[in-house]
Amino acid sequence: MSLPGIDPPARILITKIGLDGHDRGSRVVAAFLRDAGMEVLYTPPWQEIGQVVRLAEEEDVDAIGISSLATDHLLVPKLLKALAKAGLGHLPVVVGGIVPDADEGKLKKAGVRHVFHPGASREEIVDVMARLAVEARAAKAKSLFG
């Protein structure tokens, strides 16, 4: 199954940066996205920011999902800066997990496109990721051919 406007299917990197290793959430989300026809690149936890940037580039992903259960979301602004520096500033980054309200605004301001909280449904996750992937594909095509 392929999503509207996306062929080949959207490629999403689901990963964890920082120190936490809880991965129930990231595994469930990866399964949701695969079921919806997306290609998911899934990594073990504790990825260095540099590794995430490299993976995103080499694997030509359309969006990055960072799972954070234990304050690793505080490192996401650093990831966004590193992506921009590598010329991948157009890649949408989302965060899922435990993000206090006070931090959500900061993450959005730093460029995070969406924050999924505990209780986010399959539908919401698939919809948002599909929309972001379509946008990212269009932005990429524009930068290549426009």
What is the CA angle 38-42-46, rounded to 5?
150
What torsion, rounded to 10 degrees, do the Cα atoms 126, 69, 119, 135 define? -20
Question: What is the rounded CA–CA span in Å between residue 16 and residue 39?
Answer: 17
DSSP letter for 56, please: H
**Part of the chain binding another protein (CB under 8 A), chosen from 1-9, 27-35, 53-61, 131-139:** 27-35
By CB under 8 A, residue 55 contacts another protein: no
Footprint of another protein on residues 76-135 (CB under 8 A)?
Answer: 78, 98, 100-102, 117-119, 121-123
Cβ proximity to another protein: between 48 and 89 the closer is 48
- Give the contacts of 136 (CB within 8 A, at least 6 positions apart): 62, 63, 90, 91, 92
Binding residue for another protein (CB under 8 A) from 44, 60, 109, 146? 44
Beta bridge partners of 24: none
57 belongs to the binding site for another protein (CB under 8 A): no
User: Does residue 146 bind another protein (CB under 8 A)?
Assistant: no
Verify binding: residue 20, another protein, rule CB under 8 A.
yes
Comparison of 11 and 137: residue with beta carbon closer to another protein: 11
Beta carbons within 10 angstroms of residue 121's beta carbon: 10
72 binds another protein (CB under 8 A): yes
| Choice between 86 and 120, CB closer to another protein | 120
Token representation of residue 120: 């986010």
**Positions that interact with another protein (CB under 8 A):** 18-24, 27-28, 30-31, 40, 42-46, 70-72, 74-75, 78, 98, 100-102, 117-119, 121-123
